[in-house]
Chains A and B, each alone.
Chain A
Amino acid sequence: MKHVVSRLLDTVLCGAMHVLTVFCVAFLVMPLFVVVIASFNSTTVIFPPRDWSLASYMQIPQVAVDTFIRSLALGIGSATLSVLLCVPAAIALVKSRLPGKAAIEVLLRSPLQFPAIILGVAILQYFYFWQGALSVPLVGTFLGLLIAHAVYTFPFVLVPTIARLSALSGQYDEAASGLGAGSLTILARVIIPLMRPGIIAGMFMSFIMSFEDVAVTMFLAGSKMTTFPVYLFGSAEVSNTPGLYAAASLGSLVALLLVMLVERFVGIRTVLSRG
């Protein structure tokens, strides 16, 4: 009897688990669909839309487009800056006998868990100081945003590049050396090309983090120098129009396109592995 009850319980629980899984997947995905569908409203946001139209897409304000392009530029810029900073650092941390390597690495990874909002305020205060001291405008400038974004995103490049570099056999260096290559040649023609998957994964994560950031950017943006997510956030705080949903959908589209590209060339698993 106990055996039968146990088997029954087994089936029920497994069934419940499957149901819960389906529910979870729906939970994850529903809001994404809803945003897109809600954008097809023409006047007010209702679900399902009473009048399906693309009006909201036609009426996307210019400022949304401007900030979108700016965010793209910022994302690419901060990703590039991060790579330029992190690739040599990764090489130093993995391949050289730097004293205190382990500690330095932990330190450099620390921004990952650090609250973005505190970073935003701290950099704001810092920029105010230097603006005053050097008369160089920083708050509300592209340069200021670029620096802040690079600070925020560089760990996302550092982690996969270190992971990738650590996984590479040291024998490539030996083989190249025996064939007559000096250190710089080995770097340029062997090590860095082989790091490519890690670099691409890092650039991708860095771009996404930059493209979607609000917490850091909102302190450093200016009225004429805002990013796409900050603009969206500001609008969403005070209103709820279909145009907002249209803009948000387009933003998501970019992110998803990028994900597909990266999956095609590098594989999402590479991107997400934390080394």
Chain B
Amino acid sequence: MSVGTPTLFKLGIIPLAFFFLVFFAYPVVHFLWGSLVVEAGGSSSLTLRNFTDALGSSAVLRSLSTTLLLSVLTGVVSLVLGYLLAFQVVRRSPLLGRVIFVAAIASLFTSTIARALGWRVLLGFEGPINKALIAMGIVSEPLHLINNFASVAIGMIHIQVPVVMVGLIPVIETLPRDFERAAVGLGAPRWKTFLTVHLPMTWMNAVPVGLIAIMATAAYFTTPVLLGGGRVDVIAIQIQQASQVLFDFGYAAALSVMLVAMISAVAIAILLFTHWRRNVRARGSS
């Protein structure tokens, strides 16, 4: 801008920067730093004991693996279903697209608690799904669909699919339809067009969206508690118990560091991936 931008505008960053540092950055860093500190009788010392304790606990290890499995499963399934829905929204008739979009938005803005309650009913022992299965003769007794890993996964997928869909819509929108039209015009069947034209051109922008879903799932708390019935222990639950039940902030911090490490690993994977993709693009191959 050639009209002089006054210093006045620069000052606008100060309130937010102050707020950010005082109420986010410092508390978080201080808390995470606490994972390296152990208080004993008034004195504190730097130690890795919190970490060794955590890694030595089978409960913690189990929760880490549960979290990882849940996140990856949710991420992958959400990516596939979210991609399907996004595709339909962008490519199909405006009416159908609108219906799908509204359904996803309604789901997105309903609280996770309400959604979990809904699944509780649906998957319950005497819920409609079990009733339908029995009525159709597929099973003779109701299945235990609730209070286990499966129900938590379903609940988490339910949460992430709309988010992924919303994130993928712009990705699919930016792909010009002409490529597909050209392929179809040359006689290619639609499924082949999808696999050989559409997918290769969009997957590189789609995968990061899925990775973000993985990151979000890994930190989730409410749904695993409500749908897991105490049997599905994710790392978030461990952290909550360490702080609200054990009042051991150092231990909670160690667990948090592990969670952050896991999420950061995924984030770095995203960064490297997009960086690689950009290089591949620059080199001219697809």
Contact = CB atoms under 8 A, between A and B. Distances in A.
Interface of A: 6-7, 9-10, 13-14, 17, 20-21, 24-25, 27-35, 38, 45-48, 84-93, 95-98, 104, 107-108, 111, 113-119, 121-126, 147-148, 150-151, 154, 158, 170, 173-174, 177, 183-184, 208, 211-212, 214-215, 218-219, 229, 232-233, 236-237, 240, 244-245, 248-249, 251-252, 255-256, 258-259, 268, 272-274
Contacts of A29: 103, 106-107
Given A89-B16, A115-B236, A32 B106 contact: yes
Given A117-B239, A248-B113, A154 B19 contact: yes
A236 B190 contact: no
A1 to B, nearest CB: 15
A46 B126 contact: yes
Interface residues of B, number: 88
Interface of B: 1-3, 5-17, 19-20, 23-24, 26-28, 30-32, 34, 81, 84-85, 88, 99-100, 103-107, 109-122, 124, 126-128, 158, 161-162, 166-167, 170, 189-192, 212, 215-216, 218-219, 221-222, 225-226, 236, 239-240, 243-244, 249, 252-253, 256, 259-260, 263, 267
Interface centre among B19, B34, B99, B128 (most CB of A within 10 A): B19
A45 B123 CA distance: 13
B113 to A, nearest CB: 5
The 3 closest A-B pairs by CB, nearest first: A31-B118, A88-B12, A115-B219
B100 A25 contact: yes
Judged by DSSP, the binding face of B is helix
Contacts of B126: 46
A32 B30 contact: no
Given A28-B107, A96-B7, 8 more contacts: A31-B119, A31-B158, A32-B118, A108-B17, A116-B219, A122-B27, A214-B113, A255-B111
Contacts of A9: 189, 191
A104 B17 CA distance: 9
Contacts of A249: 114
B9 to A, nearest CB: 4
B226 A233 contact: yes
Contacts of A252: 110-111, 114
Given A173-B3, A233-B222, A88 B189 contact: no
B42 to A, nearest CB: 15
A107 B25 CA distance: 10
A255 B115 CA distance: 13
A14 B170 CA distance: 23
B222 A28 contact: no
Contact of B252 (A121, A183, A229, A272): A121
